[in-house]
Amino acid sequence: MNTEETNKSSMATTDLSPEIKYMHIEDLKTSFIGKTSEYINTMLNTVLDDPVLLRVAIRRCRLDCAEAERRINKLKEDNKEYVPKNEYVALQQTYDELVKASEQLKQNFRNAKVEYNALKEALEYLIKDRDKYFTLCETYRATLTPRPKWERCASIIEGGIERWNELAIGKTSNELVDILLNEIIGGNDIYNNVVNFIGLGLDPKIPKFLQTTSNIRNRHFMQRDVSLLIEDIWKQKLEYDFEQKSTTASKQNIKISLVDFVHIYFQRRFPDDELLQLEWGYNLVAGCRRFKSSSEISNFWSVLLGQVSILYHKYS
């Protein structure tokens, strides 16, 4: 009985081997799961009535599964350090960008290093200059006389400390002496560089000795010239007032103003030359403006403008 079953099994195996070998070839190519499933189904359909052949088929399937699992594990082990292509491409692109950024940073570092070295050399040069000038300054401070307090000159300069600061900025001591002398004699005044004075017109509000529409020559009076002229005007004014008191009309005690008398003064001094009268009048006004630091000229100018009564001058 056993011999017959064995023979039948051998015959069945011999008869089924070609069929099992070539069936479902296309399905075996698709995937391992499909191949195994089809293979098992085929074996079950073929040997369903033969227990021996069924056991052989199951053993064969187990061996194939074990082999497939071994191969899968081997593939996993061999490829565990690999990444998918899309990830590799993305990583490669990121790497290239980082390489470019690194090169740019290296270049920037080299440029910064060159600039740093240049600045370091410049700083060392400046430190040497600073030490040299500091030593020189200390030497001068110990050996040279101190600078005068030029700010004290502002009290005698027209415009005060603000104008003195404008004149003195960036000047040496010798230049400041020249500026001070020019201020005293009027050399720094704007009227000193004027060739001709522009006539003020014929308006009745303008003093008579200044009424003209012509340009008047600048004679560049010095302070001494203005002082002598003012002294003579005061002298003539006193004589004129005394003469007026001696006449009958003067008993009304009417006194002429200094502005009107200056016009009379120039008419008396230059009776036949109206242009010369105007020249001296305009130069007198310009001189009073330039030399207001003089108390004598300042008092005369204040009385002439009507800011101070003539009695103040007489009292002074």
CA 71 to chain CA mean position, Å:
74
- Please check whether residue 100 lies inside any domain of the structure: yes
Residues 301 and 262 in one domain: yes
C-alpha 109/C-alpha 142 separation (Å) is 48
CA of 215: how far to CAs of 1, 177, 194, 212, 218, in Å?
Answer: 160, 34, 11, 8, 9
- Please check whether residue 187 lies inside any domain of the structure: no
- Please check whether residue 235 lies inside any domain of the structure: yes
Please tell me the total count of domains within the chain.
4
Residues 39 and 111 in one domain: no
Q: Give the range of the structural domain holding residue 101, as residue numbers without chain letter.
A: 83-144
- The sign of the dihedral angle between the CA atoms of 49, 50, 51, 55 is negative
Cα angle value 234/235/237 (rounded, 5°): 60
pLDDT score for 47: 54
- Please check whether residue 216 lies inside any domain of the structure: yes
Predicted confidence (pLDDT) per residue in 239-250, tens digit: 888 888 777 554
pLDDT beyond 90 at 103: yes
C-alpha 222/C-alpha 12 separation (Å) is 150
pLDDT score for 131: 94
Q: Which of 78, 99, 118 is the last residue of a domain?
A: 78
Q: What is the mean pLDDT of the chain?
A: 78
Q: How far apart are the first and last CA of the chain?
A: 170
Predicted confidence (pLDDT) per residue in 5-17, tens digit: 444 444 444 444 4
Residues 38 and 108 in one domain: no
Q: Which of 59, 78, 97 is the last residue of a domain?
A: 78
pLDDT score for 135: 92
For residue 239, give the amino acid letter: E
**Which carries the bigger pLDDT value, residue 26 or residue 79?**
79
C-alpha 261/C-alpha 250 separation (Å) is 15
